[in-house]
Amino acid sequence: MVTIKDIARTLGVSVGTVSKALNGRDDVGDELRARIIDTARELRYEPDPIARRLVTKRSRTLGVFMLDRQGFGVRRNFGWLFLDGILHGAAEREYDLVLFSNTDDTRYERSYIDICRSRRVDAAIIVGLRGDDRYLDDVLNAPIPVALIDTEVSGGSATFVSSDNRAGAALALEHLASLGHEKVATLRAPFSYPGRLRYEAWAEFAAALGCFRDDYVRDGDFTPESGMSAAESFAAMREMPTAIFAASDLMAIGLIRGFEKRGVRVPEDISIVGFDDIPNADLVGPALTTVAQDTLGIGKAALDAVLDELDSGSRREEILVEPRLVVRQSCAAPRAAAGSVKG
Amino acid sequence: MVTIKDIARTLGVSVGTVSKALNGRDDVGDELRARIIDTARELRYEPDPIARRLVTKRSRTLGVFMLDRQGFGVRRNFGWLFLDGILHGAAEREYDLVLFSNTDDTRYERSYIDICRSRRVDAAIIVGLRGDDRYLDDVLNAPIPVALIDTEVSGGSATFVSSDNRAGAALALEHLASLGHEKVATLRAPFSYPGRLRYEAWAEFAAALGCFRDDYVRDGDFTPESGMSAAESFAAMREMPTAIFAASDLMAIGLIRGFEKRGVRVPEDISIVGFDDIPNADLVGPALTTVAQDTLGIGKAALDAVLDELDSGSRREEILVEPRLVVRQSCAAPRAAAGSVKG
DNA sequence: GCTGGAATCGAAAACGTTTTCGACAGAGAA
DNA sequence: TTCTCTGTCGAAAACGTTTTCGATTCCAGC
């Protein structure tokens, strides 16, 4: 591996001068600088990031923690989608990403922030942090910039990045209204913070529409199974809603499967709209109309947040990125009236 | 940040002795070693990995390249699933993972191996490398250990890690046979290496079963769209197969949707089995029976491969990890005979 | 008592950078 | 001419480790 000394030796100058020339400092002559740059290129010199970090005290590296939420496992882990946005932003700003996970409990018997400290990363992005995480306090009092994505918690010294859940829910609800629905129910996920926000948006909407009824809300836990049982429950009602806003795609798909089993068809008999736009949501039958989280935008925003804090020293409390409605085939206009004849 | 000097100073010993004591060398007294370890703990000393790397010349870091295959985008990128296995393995063996992506073309105007060189990573795992990648030669002649996952290519100095595609296909085919199917077709993906392997397994199976017919094979490109058009084509046949082995889940789901549109039902009228077990494959209606790639195992195997090569210097050509069949609801026994009545 | 070796520790170099400070030359102003 | 200033460069320290080698002590064996 060719070092800065090699360049210095072949040119007969000092290493300090080479370093300054390569780093664009102004106390080196133009002619010499050109020669240094030339031979650096000829020798295919690459500055050693390790040595550089040792002296500059900044690693130009940030830690990303992919936390396994409630044991869903990888296949259901939505978090990977954010990683792509983070990755792009990091590449643009010439930072490296080191990746950690907490699924291996035996190893990470230490706080995420401790890991950051030992790895000397400049900042951290944590995706999927739960409210009952045992290291929650450490995270919220971290001495380095931290961004939280896809998380239940808020507050503290970390910046909270998420979709604008209320706006997203409004998008879905307005779509339903524009289709002519007047009886729209919800399957909420009240235990999570985003879930509560989405529910509140529904509650306001339903109140405005005059269809707020206690028996139009069911509780789920983000799993398809909870969607299926909610479908059973809805299907048994005397006066079924004509549309359901589910707080997540997984639950929305559970609803579809549950209704399917009971013989009520989507979207002919009932419209269903989800939230998230999980992978392959366009492939379940019928293709799910849902409000898509801008996972790329969220990842990028989180990255910009911590890096900006690193540069400027000023932290942002919260960043909301706008989701967008993607209409597919699980919603339709309600049937003329809740008649008695079936066909 | 507390350094090795701090603990040397408080104990009145030299830094070299502290280093040796902490690293378990045998030329330091037991009593002194104990005191050093104690004060290291008291001072919450963490060895600086940067400084350590500078002198040991090993970074204990490996690069992972997530390549965006054929513009599928993140949502369709199967690659993330492997990352989890890699992550676990890396944690166990105390290596750090730095992540790269190639989706940002403007930045990565340099070979992956060049990036490894500049980042001083000890080894690399590349997922999703295509056969026509412009840096293919560089990868296959890399001076560091490299493992290839989910890739079309093989050979060279890299170790190739993948599912045992032939065995996996056999699993699916035998399942179909055990259900009583005698006319099983295939939707292949001949342009890719794994696709060809899966097709060969089908061909052998079909030959053994006596149902090998040219018009029982259709070509797809791994997209759901190609599955849909294949379904059209199959549905138009005078003598339809009773089951189809698709070379990927995406195509299998496309088949289901295509048949659905033509009024042929899965699995009542035709059975369909996929390959991969993509996220949420259990949620499409009907739940897809498929052969699941052991993504965790593959990731772990790739990691072990490069790390073992780093330790021992000996490289493995190819590692095949066994997939497993997961039967869900898209396959059933064939109907008694191709009768004329519909119900 | 002397020699040999083992055990224990410190001094110092090394890794590849960046950065500070001082040296020196030349140019311009007094 | 002398003084000051600017421009250009080198020497050296520093970052926090690891590792080699030499120094010292201690004890067993003769």
Please write the tens of the pLDDT for every residue from B192-243.
889 999 999 999 999 999 999 999 999 999 999 999 999 999 999 999 999 9
Positions 123-152 in B, CB within 7 angstroms of strand C: none
Q: How far is CA A22 from the centre of its chain?
A: 38
CA angle A237, A242, A246 (to 5 degrees): 90
CB B126 within 8 A of CB B69: no
- What phi and psi values does residue A99 have, to the nearest 5 degrees? -105, 135
Written out in words, the top-level CATH class of the domain with range B165-293 is alpha beta
Smallest Cα distance from B26 to chain A, Å: 26
For A104-132, how does the pLDDT look when each residue is reduced to its tens digit (9 = 90+)?
A: 554 557 899 999 999 999 999 999 898 88
> Which of B244, B255, B246 lies closest to B286 in space, CA to CA?
B255
Domains B4-47 and B165-293 share a fold: no
Report whether the peptide linkage leading into residue A267 is cis, meaning its omega lies within 30 degrees of zero. yes
- Cα B24–Cα B303–Cα B275 angle in degrees, nearest 5: 155
Half-sphere exposure of A187 (CA within 13 A, CB side): 33
DSSP string, A171-187: HHHHHHHHHT---EEEE
Q: Which of A175, A172, A144 is nearest to A157 (CA)?
A: A144
pLDDT at B75: 60
Assigned CATH topology for domain A4-47 = 434 Repressor (Amino-terminal Domain) (1.10.260)
- Give me the DSSP letters along B64-115: EEE--GGG--GGG-TTHHHHHHHHHHHHHTT-EEEEEES--TTT--S-HHHH
Number of residues that this document lists for chain B = 343
pLDDT at B338: 45
For the domain spanning B61-163+295-321, the CATH number is 3.40.50.2300
| Protein residue closest via CA to C1' of C6 | B27
Distance from the Cα of B207 to chain A's closest Cα (Å) equals 33
pLDDT above 90: percentage of residues in chain B: 82
**Amino acid B50 CA to nucleotide C15 C1' distance, rounded Å:** 11
Of B50, B104, B253, the CB nearest to A91: B104
pLDDT number for residue A73: 57
Low-confidence ranges of chain A (pLDDT < 50): 106, 337-343
Instruction: Determine the 3-state secondary structure of B249 from DSSP.
Output: helix
Interface of B with A in 187-206 (CB under 8 A): none
Phi, psi torsion values for A124, nearest 5 degrees: -140, 150
Residue contact B119–A96, C-beta within 8 A:
yes
**CB distance from B75 to chain A under 8 Å?**
yes
Which of A161, A168, A216, A213 minimizes the C-alpha distance to A195? A168
Summarize the confidence of residues B27-52 as an average pLDDT.
Answer: 96
CA distance to partner chain A, nearest, from residue B100 (Å): 7
Chain B residues lying within 8 Å of A260, measured CB to CB: 285
Residues B5-13 have a mean pLDDT of 96
Nearest chain A alpha carbon to B82: A74
Domain boundaries, chain B: 4-47, 61-163+295-321, 165-293
pLDDT for B60-90, tens place per residue?
Answer: 999 999 987 655 555 667 888 999 899 989 9
Token pair, residue A274, equals 């989800």
Question: CB of A219 within 8 A of CB of A209?
Answer: no
Above 60 in pLDDT, residue B340?
no
**Using the CA of B30, which nucleotide's C1' is the nearest one?**
C8
pLDDT digits (tens, 9 = 90+) for B114-166: 999 999 999 999 998 988 888 999 999 999 999 999 887 777 899 999 999 99
Instruction: Say if A87 is an interface residue toward chain B (CB within 8 Å).
Output: yes
